[in-house]
Amino acid sequence: MDTLYDLTVHAALSRLNAGEISSLDLTQALLARIQAVENNVCAYLRVLEEDALKQARYADQRRAEGDLSPLLGIPIALKDTFSTKGVETTCGSQILRGYIPPFDATVVRRLKDAGAVILGKTNQDEFAMGSSTENSGFFPTHNPWDLTRVPGGSSGGSAAAVAAGEALAALGTDTGGSVRQPASLCGLVGVRPTYGRCSRYGLIAFASSLDQPGPLARTVADAALLLQVIAGHDPRDGTSWPDAVPDYLAALRADVRGLRIGVPKEYFVTGVQPDVEKAVRDALNVLQNMGAELVEVTLPHSEYALPVYYLIAPAEASANLARFDGMRYGLRKEGATIEEMYARTRGAGFGPEVIRRIMLGTYALSAGYYDAYYLKAQQVRTLIKSDFDRAFEQVDVIIGPTSPVTAFRLGERTANPLEMYLADIFTLSQALAGIPALSLPCGCDAQGLPIGLQIAAPALHEVRMFQVAYAYEQATTWHTRRPPL
């Protein structure tokens, strides 16, 4: 019999609905697992033990009364960037210590309405700025596959929690790859939906034109179910898509015959770890043998994604983070004048990476530089989107590596910000174009570390993305591997 903390969401729901286990049993098993491994993994900033047990008992009561809500009794973790009513929410930053939101983010409210049990808030890079969760204002998180390595970022705590059996699934946010890259490094399925498919209301903003909530789970079906629950129009988010949400689970069939898969030549370049390239090419062969057609495509402006992202995202961050000044919530360092108070509060509250990006963004938006940097970056962003539009005229999905490398060692890249930024080289373009993309396991390297396969689809075509991912997953066993923790 499976250990309860190792169950997929669908397996757990099946056993809950059959009366074989209770939500209380399941939640207690997850809390015991957290207690056993959390000192080594450091995935959580705070565990909500009493609240979780209370929610589990209520879920059991609801099920006994005939309620079959889609996530009823399923223990889930939340990245600390989501406002959570009555629970300290810091976005991984010292500047928000003690901040307790009086409301839930829309996606959190939808999880609760669906019956999910909230286990706690997970660690992250401060204000979602990072690729390793080493930029947390509190402590780094460790990869459950090798505790000397990073779990990826910025949603590294959420990814590590699911990989380590400390949650059955989790929510993260993806600005330039912050769900997909940790999913790749931790051997999970991670989804970035179309920009606007999930509400950003209650999400503490990093870059407003890029941020998007997304699920982390062990299987494609679990990820599709979570997205089904959290997606949909929200009048409180002006960028929210009004279109009805398709039935993602109905799309899950192991059939790719006749589908055209785009293989960008720009995604197989110098700098990609040989094990990663081999695993991705092997995955493409699997899909081709199942009846899909491989078509070479070109995304010629991909090489500019890194500089474009690191102009647009910091520029938006410099505006969004101006609200954290110590006046209304979080940390406050007193000063003789209000200007001194601002300076002391922000100097003490923000970490070095956040300060670096605020300075980059402020410079790019400053008089005399706006046209040369920010405006030019937005123009190239349009070209990047046009590349995808042209490619999708020829193919149904585009596939390549999620990350150029497997999990690197803690501290290995912290001294060189550019080397750290390159960890997201294959996930930035989709975010800039606003299209959906998914990472799922497709192999492991010589050290046994997971490798991720990235599948991108046109805007609002998550169904197509899930179909291809599910077909590949059913034809392989990579998703069944668990860390030797």
Give ∠ CA 43-113-121 in degrees, rounded to 5. Answer: 15
Residue 482, domain member (yes or no):
no
Residue 192, domain member (yes or no):
yes
pLDDT tens figures, 71-123: 999 999 999 999 999 999 999 999 999 999 999 999 999 999 999 999 999 99
Residue 332, domain member (yes or no):
no
Q: What is the CATH number of the domain that holds 225?
A: 3.90.1300.10
Residues 260 and 265: their CA atoms lie apart, in Å, by 16
Which residues are marked as active site? Answer: 79, 154, 178
Q: Which of 194, 164, 258, 70 is nearest to 460 (CA)?
A: 194
Residues 240 and 199: their CA atoms lie apart, in Å, by 6
Quote the pLDDT of residue 2. 59
Q: Which of 46, 130, 39, 52 is nearest to 90 (CA)?
A: 46
Residue 320, domain member (yes or no):
no
Residues 457 and 277: their CA atoms lie apart, in Å, by 21
CB atoms within 10 A of CB 87: 19
Residue 360, domain member (yes or no):
no
Structural domain containing residue 119? 4-256
Residues 344 and 324: their CA atoms lie apart, in Å, by 12
Residues 400 and 62: their CA atoms lie apart, in Å, by 43
Residue 416, domain member (yes or no):
no
CB atoms within 10 A of CB 155: 38
Q: How confident is the model at residue 367 (pLDDT cuts 50, 70, 90)?
A: confident
Residues 262 and 400: their CA atoms lie apart, in Å, by 9
> In whole numbers, what is the pLDDT of the chain averaged over residues?
96
Q: Is the pLDDT of residue 58 over 60?
A: yes
pLDDT tens figures, 212-233: 999 999 999 999 999 999 999 9
Residue 72, domain member (yes or no):
yes
Token pair 């179909």 is found at 467
Q: How far from chain centre, in Å, is Cα 330? A: 25
Q: Is the pLDDT of residue 458 over 60?
A: yes
Total domains, the chain: 1
Quote the pLDDT of residue 251. 86
Percent share of the chain, pLDDT over 70: 100
pLDDT tens figures, 387-411: 999 999 999 999 999 999 999 999 9
31: phi then psi, degrees, rounded to nearest 5: -65, -35
The better pLDDT of the pair 330, 291 is held by 291
β partners of residue 401: 453
pLDDT tens figures, 153-168: 999 999 999 999 999 9
Please say whether the beta carbons of 130 and 138 come within 8 A: no
Residue 276, domain member (yes or no):
no
Q: How far from chain centre, in Å, is Cα 92? A: 15
Quote the pLDDT of residue 218. 98
Residues 434 and 317: their CA atoms lie apart, in Å, by 18
Quote the pLDDT of residue 1. 38
Q: Which of 108, 3, 19, 14 is nearest to 70 (CA)?
A: 14
Q: How far from chain centre, in Å, is Cα 380? A: 25
Q: Tell me whether the omega of the peptide bond preceding residue 429 falls within 30 degrees of 0, making it cis.
A: no
Q: Which of 184, 107, 118 is nearest to 403 (CA)?
A: 184
